[in-house]
A and B are shown apart, each in its own frame.
Chain A
Amino acid sequence: MIRTPLRPLARILSAREKGENPDAIERENLRLRHEAMRDRMRHRAEGRLFVLALCFVCAYSVIGVRMGLLAAGEPSEVQVASTGSEIVAQRANIVDRNGRILATNLSTHSLYAQTRDLVDPERAAHELSLIFPDLDEAELLKDFTGSRKFLWIKKKLSPEQMQLVHDIGEPGLLFGPREMRLYPNGQLAAHILGGASFGREGVHSAEVIGTAGVEKQFDAWLRDPANKGAPLQLSIDLTVQATSREILEAGMKLMNAKGASSVLMDVHTGEILSMISLPDFDPNDRPTPLVKGDPGDSPLFNRAVQGVYELGSVFKIFTAAQAMELGLVNPETIIDANAPMRWGKFNIKEFRNKNYGKLSVTDVIVNSSNVGTAKMALAIGAERQQAFLDKLGFLKATDLEMVEAPTGKPLLPPRWTEISTITVSYGHGISSSPVHLAAGYASLLNGGTKVTPTLLRRPNPQPGERVVSERVSEEARKMLRAVVSRGTASFGDVPGYAVGGKTGTADKPKPNGGYYSDKVIATFATVFPAHDPKYVLIVTLDEPVETSGSTPRRTAGWTSVPVAAEIIERTAPLLGLRPAPEPEAEVAVVRTSN
Chain B
Amino acid sequence: MKTLFYLTSALVVMGLAFWAYQENYRTQAALKESAALKREIGTLRETLAVLEAEWAYLNRPGRLAELAEINFDSLGLLPLRPEQFGSVEQVAFPPPPMLPVTMPIEVAGHLKVGGQFP
Binding site for B on A (CB under 8 A): 77, 79-80, 84-85, 88-89, 100-101, 104-107, 182, 184-186, 188, 238-239, 241-243, 246, 494-497, 569-570, 572-574, 578-579
Contact = CB atoms under 8 A, between A and B. Distances in A.
Interface in B51-78: 52-53, 55-57, 59-62, 65
Interface in B61-103: 61-62, 65, 79-85
Contacts, number: 74
B16 interface: no
Nearest to B47: A107
B47 to A, nearest CB: 10
B85 A184 contact: no
A188 B83 CA distance: 27
B49 A104 contact: yes
B60 A573 contact: no
- A-B pairs with the 10 shortest C-beta distances? A242-B61, A184-B56, A184-B57, A101-B56, A579-B82, A573-B80, A185-B60, A104-B53, A578-B85, A88-B45
A77 B60 contact: no
B13 interface: no
Given A104-B49, A186-B62, A574 B80 contact: yes
Contacts of A246: 65
Interface of B: 31, 34-35, 38, 41, 45-46, 49-50, 52-53, 55-57, 59-62, 65, 79-85
Contacts of A243: 61, 79
A570 B80 contact: yes
B51 to A, nearest CB: 11
Interface of B is mostly: helix
Given A85-B38, A579-B85, A107 B46 contact: yes
A162 B79 CA distance: 41
Given A243-B79, A573-B82, 9 more contacts: A104-B53, A106-B50, A182-B53, A184-B56, A185-B56, A241-B61, A572-B82, A573-B81, A579-B85
A182 B50 CA distance: 10
Contacts of B80: 570, 573-574
Contacts of A578: 85
B96 to A, nearest CB: 30
Contacts of A104: 49, 52-53, 56
